[in-house]
């Protein structure tokens, strides 16, 4: 039984993330989407609470029977150990992702060499897509609907109507 983690902040989950999660779900028996608290991210932290981000991932992957979502704080390799996951799957977009992802994979390898990091290339249509771009479009009234599942589009609309 091969279990993989797909970690990230998912603030919020996008179609780009979902593409990677779906493809990981074909490669592994079980995929656990690990939603990081990432409290220190940005000046005021993530836009969505940890519970909201987990719930949006759960709603978005509802049709995939071998995918679940969990919140986590602390080290990713500790979560891998406690969930008995043997792989970490990350999406790679443009070359700009590489250095950051390379660093994280190297640190995780130092900490826990038995956990393999696997990269899946983003498809061309999502190469430029990020949660921060989606948040900015939502905040400034741009059309972001095609970049996120319906539940996320609704949650963003509600967030910025507040
Ligand atoms: O979506 P993101 O923000 O690029 O995800 C980054 C994340 C959450 C995967 C990364 O920051 C992470 O793994 N955080 C957990 C802390 C950790 O294990 N740090 C050591 C590896 S550098």
- Read off the pLDDT of residues 50-84 as tens digits, 9 standing for 90 and up: 999 999 999 999 989 999 999 999 999 999 999 99
**Residue of 46, 76, 85, 130 with the most ligand 1 atoms within 8 Å of its CB, for mutation:** 76
% of the chain surpassing 70 pLDDT = 100
Instruction: State the Cα–Cα distance between residues 148 and 107, nearest whole angstrom.
Output: 31
Instruction: Note if 17 is an active site residue.
Output: yes
Is the confidence at residue 42, as pLDDT, over 80?
A: no
pLDDT, tens digit, 9 for 90 and up, residues 108-132: 999 999 999 999 999 999 999 999 9
Measured between alpha carbons, how far is 24 from 100 in angstroms, rounded to an integer?
21
Ligand 1 atom closest to the CA of 90, numbered from 1:
9
Residues listed for the chain: 162
49 part of the active site: no
Of the two residues 34 and 38, the one the predictor is more confident about is 34
Task: Kindly write down the DSSP assignment for every residue of the chain, as one continuous string.
Answer: --EEEEEE--TT--HHHHHHHHHHHHHSSEEEEEEE--TTSSTT--SS-HHHHHHHHHHHTTT-TTEEEEEE-S-HHHHHHHHT--EEEEEE-STHHHHHHHHHHHHHHHH-TTSEEEEEEPPGGGTT--HHHHHHHHHHT---GGGS-HHHHHHHHHHHH-
> 153-162: per-residue pLDDT in tens?
999 999 998 7
Banded pLDDT at 140 (limits 50, 70, 90): very high
C-alpha torsion sign, points 100, 92, 113, 1:
positive
Ligand 1 pocket mutation pick from 5, 7, 87, 101 by most atoms within 8 angstroms of CB: 7
Spatial distance between the Cα atoms of 74 and 108, rounded to a whole number of angstroms: 13
| Active-site annotation holds for 3 | no
Residue bearing the CA closest to ligand 1, atom 7: 8
Q: What is the pTM of this model?
A: 0.96
Nearest CA to 111 out of 146, 157, 77 is that of 77
């Amino acid at each position: 039984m091969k279990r993989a983690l797909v970690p990230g902040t998912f603030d919020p989950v996008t179609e780009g993330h979902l593409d990677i999660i779906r493809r990981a779900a074909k490669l592994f028996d079980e995929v656990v989407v690990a939603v990081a608290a990432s409290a220190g991210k940005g000046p005021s932290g993530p836009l969505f609470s940890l519970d909201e981000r987990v719930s949006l991932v759960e709603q978005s992957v509802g049709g995939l029977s071998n995918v679940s979502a969990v919140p986590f704080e602390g080290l990713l390799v500790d979560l891998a150990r406690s969930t008995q996951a043997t792989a970490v799957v990350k999406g790679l977009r443009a070359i700009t992702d590489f250095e950051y992802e390379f660093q994280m994979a190297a640190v995780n390898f130092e900490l826990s060499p038995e956990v393999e990091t696997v990269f899946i290339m983003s498809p061309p249509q999502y190469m430029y897509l990020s949660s921060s771009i989606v948040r900015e479009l939502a905040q400034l009234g741009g059309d972001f609907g095609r970049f996120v599942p319906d539940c996320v589009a609704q949650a963003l609309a509600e967030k910025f109507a507040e």
